[in-house]
Each structure stands twice: as structure tokens, then as C-alpha cells.
Amino acid sequence: MRRSGEDFRTIWQKPDDPTVVQIIDQRRLPHEYVVADLMSWRDGVHAISEMLVRGAPLIGATAAWSLYLAALESRGQPDRNKFIRHAAKALAATRPTAVNLRWAIDRVLGVLGRTEHIDEIEDTLEQEARKICDEDIEICRAIGEQGLKLIEEISARKSGDTVNILTHCNAGSLATINWGTATAPVYFARDKGIDVHVWVDETRPRNQGSQLTTWELAENKVPHTLIVDNAGGHLMQHGLVDICITGTDRTTRSGDVANKIGTYLKALAANDNNIPFYVALPSTTIDWTIRDGLTEIPIEERNPDEVAKIYGKAGDKFCTVQTVGSNTAISNYAFDVTPARLVTGLITERGICAASEDGLTTLFPEQSGLAS
Ligand code: MRU
């Protein structure tokens, strides 16, 4: 995507001071575009935990850049390796569901382990963080090209009438470095002149749909409509959805998909209405070590306050209002698991496949012998 016509990234080094990493404070969108500085690895922990940044690929990239900051901060420490590994442990504990976090940390620690001279670690970790970001952009671009085929087919079948795509949460540019996963095919289709329209689920409690997906679609002039989370089934019953495309935080080698809470209900409704339900899946989000999503994927439970309160802007001030009385128990599961049988297909950077071990390992044969 572009912002105000300019190329866009969600995380970068400060142009006049590469020892500072900058992010967009996503809590302030769509009202304000605020850039936040990460000056230490602890700032990275805070940014991920408090969701200044979120979305599986961006969480991983932020952890990688935070380890670079840890490398800078380790100057003068008696054991620089130990210092960085301590930071890695704290970063890994921030959010349990998105596997990109573990993937990125393991990748950076692997590079650290192979660095022969300790005085090279700052450069090495900086390069690795940059590579992770550059690769993510290419992966998302490829997902866009692959997913475009599905939208083209629907458009041809409808003789050029509007293709209505339903998405949940924000699996957009803001969740990655650019392009997004679920949104990349939409951007490619729009650029090809295909008439597209996106139904955006609000995505309570953190409102990633109403605050983030709407913002980036508006920035890119993609026609879209915001709906409450419970509206999708009704729209599907009335022929107003042609395809669902969501992202994922962790997909097992057998194709079970963990994604933002409510995704499963959309997949059930899509299944009941014979509407294709696709998941856009960068290979960095596949957990090749597990098969059963329901029992093996840790589901994050967040602060009940996110459910009890709503955050927004009143006049020129940000504020939080309480919507529930004080004597009510609240649970706040942040993700759910959609079983592979409800997923029509996975859109990966290498092609589209069935949500199954066979489907995934046909595209990623290097993983075929690695089951746990
Ligand atoms: O809690 P969040 O905002 O980090 O959840 C994000 C999602 O569920 C996305 O759909 C997922 O990370 C895929 S991002 C390409």
C-alpha cells in the first residue's frame, strides 16, 4: 500500500539515527498518524504487549529489530550474548499465539550463534532484521499475485460486477511490513481494474477492523463498508459475499488456522452458504511442529478491560468509556482455531493449496520429512 501517495513501511530505522527503530503507534489510528521511537529492547516488549504494533508478521519483525537494539545496549556488558538472549526470552513471552514471534527470534538467535566475532553482532543483527522485513514485503507481494487469481475468476464469473470480499481483523499492510496478507490480493485486483468491495468486520474488542483495515483501505481508495462482527452470516445468506479472505497467526502443518477471535464463526457461516473461505498464509506463519490446532496452539487471553471498555476519540481527546457494570465476569480470548475442513484453501507465496498436510508439503517439500 501507499500512504498519501508515498511508499509505506510499518517499521524502519530513524533516518538520521539508525540506533532508533520507528513504528506507527497503531492505537492512535485512524484518528492520528503517530510515529513512536523504540530506543531499547524493552520498548519493543512494550510495543508488542500493548499492541502499538500487532499482526503476526509485524510482531516478528518488531522482535527482530528489538534484538538489534539489545545488541546495541549490550555494549559494555560482561556477556553480550547472555544479555541478548535474556531480551529474546522476554520478547518471546509477549504474545503467545502468533508463531512469527518465535520464528523471528529463533532466526536472529541462530545468526547470533554463528557470529564469530562479538564486535560484529550489531551489524549482523541489524542486517538480519532488515532482511526479515524485506523478505516479508516480497512474501506478501507474492501472496497478492496468487490471491489475485481467485478474485479474477469471480469477477469473470460475475461478468465484471463487483467482487465482494469479507475480511476479519486487520491482516493488512499494518499487520505486516507492507501489502498485508489478506489485503494483498485486493490491492492487486484493484490495481488491475477489477471492481472490488470489502466488507470489514469491526473486530471487537480491539477494533482492528474498524480502526486499522478501514484506515488502510481508505488510504488506498479501495471501496469498503464497515460491519459489526455478527453481520457476516446475514450478508452471506443474502448473496452479498463472494469470498472470505482472512489472515492467520499460526497455521498447523495439517492446515488448522488460528486467527483473531470470530474467524471460526465466519468460516462456519461461509461453509453453510457455500462461500469460499480462504486464508492468506505467509510461510513464516506455518508451525511445522504441530498438527492439531485445537489442542496445540496456545490461545492468548488478554485483559478483560478490553471487553469492558471502549477506547476512542471524543472531540480532540482520546478516552476510554466503560460499557459494562462492575459485577460481571469477563473473558477475553483473543484468537480461535478454524479447523482445516472449513478452509477452502491457503494462499501462500508459493501458490494456493488445500488446507492439509499434503497441500502444504507439496508447496513446501523441504518440510515434508520434518513432522514432530
Ligand atoms: O491481535 P492482533 O491484532 O495481533 O491479531 C492479528 C490477526 O489476527 C491477523 O489476522 C493475523 O495476525 C494475520 S496478520 C497478516
Residue 324 CA, ligand 1 centroid: distance in Å: 26
Between the CA atoms of 97, 101, 106 and 111, what dihedral angle is there, to the nearest 10 degrees? Answer: 170
Gap from CA of 334 to ligand 1 centroid (Å)? 10
Pocket test for ligand 1, best of 248, 261, 300, 332 (most atoms within 8 A of CB): 248
Distance CA 102, CA 31 (A): 32
pTM over the 0.85 mark = yes
- Rounded distance between C-alpha atoms, residue 227 and residue 96, angstroms: 28
Residue 199 CA to ligand 1 centre (angstroms): 17
- Do 137 and 94 touch, CB atoms closer than 8 A? no
The Cα 35–Cα 125 span in angstroms is: 23
The mean of the pLDDT values for the chain is 96
pLDDT of residue 141: 97
* Residue 100 CB less than 6 A away from ligand 1: no
pLDDT for the residue 370: 64
For strand 163-167 and strand 351-353, is the pairing parallel, antiparallel, or unpaired? unpaired
Q: State how far the Cα of 116 lies from the Cα of 309, in Å rounded to an integer.
A: 51
Cα gap 202→228, rounded to integer Å: 5
Query: What is the per-residue pLDDT across 130-188, written as a single tens digit (0 to 9) for each?
Result: 999 999 999 999 999 999 999 999 999 999 999 999 999 999 999 999 999 999 999 99
Alpha helices in the chain (DSSP H): 41-49, 56-73, 80-92, 99-114, 121-157, 184-191, 208, 214-219, 232-237, 263-272, 293-296, 305-308, 357-363
Closest Cα to atom 6 of ligand 1: 55
Q: Which of 1, 54, 103 to mutate to test the pocket of ligand 1 (most atoms within 8 A of CB)?
A: 54
Q: Give the closest residue (by CA) to ligand 1 atom 5.
A: 55
341 three-state secondary structure:
helix
Using CA atoms of 346, 143, 108, 98 in order, give the dihedral in degrees to the nearest 10: -40
Sign of CA dihedral 227, 232, 233, 237: positive
Nearest partner of 227 among 193, 199, 187, judged by Cα: 199
Q: Is the peptide bond before 205 cis (omega within 30 degrees of 0)?
A: yes
C-alpha cell at 348: 501462500
Question: What are 14's strand-pairing partners?
Answer: 17
State the closest ligand 1 atom to the C-alpha of 260, by its place in the atom list counted from 1.
8
Ordered domains of the chain (ranges, CATH)? 2-134 (1.20.120.420), 149-367 (3.40.50.10470)
Report the C-alpha gap between 12 and 5 in whole angstroms. 18
In angstroms, the CA 250 to CA 48 distance is: 17
User: What is the reported pLDDT for 354?
Assistant: 98
* Eight-class DSSP state of 212: I
Ligand 1 atom, smallest distance to 175 CA: 14
Instruction: Report CA(327)–ligand 1 centroid distance (Å).
Output: 31
Rg (alpha carbons) of the chain, rounded to whole number: 20
Q: Is 284 in the pocket of ligand 1 (CB under 6 A)?
A: no
Catalytic site residues?
A: 249
Q: Which residues of the chain, if any, have pLDDT below 70?
A: 2, 4-5, 370-372
Ligand 1 pocket mutation, candidates 260, 284, 343, criterion most atoms within 8 A of CB = 260
CA atoms within 13 A of residue 171's CA, in its CB half-sphere: 33
Residue 116: per-residue pLDDT: 82
Q: Is 26 in the pocket of ligand 1 (CB under 6 A)?
A: no
Strand partners, 246: 279
The rounded Å distance from CA 283 to ligand 1 centre is 15
For residue 328, CA distances in Å to 138, 170, 219, 270, 286 come to: 46, 29, 39, 32, 37
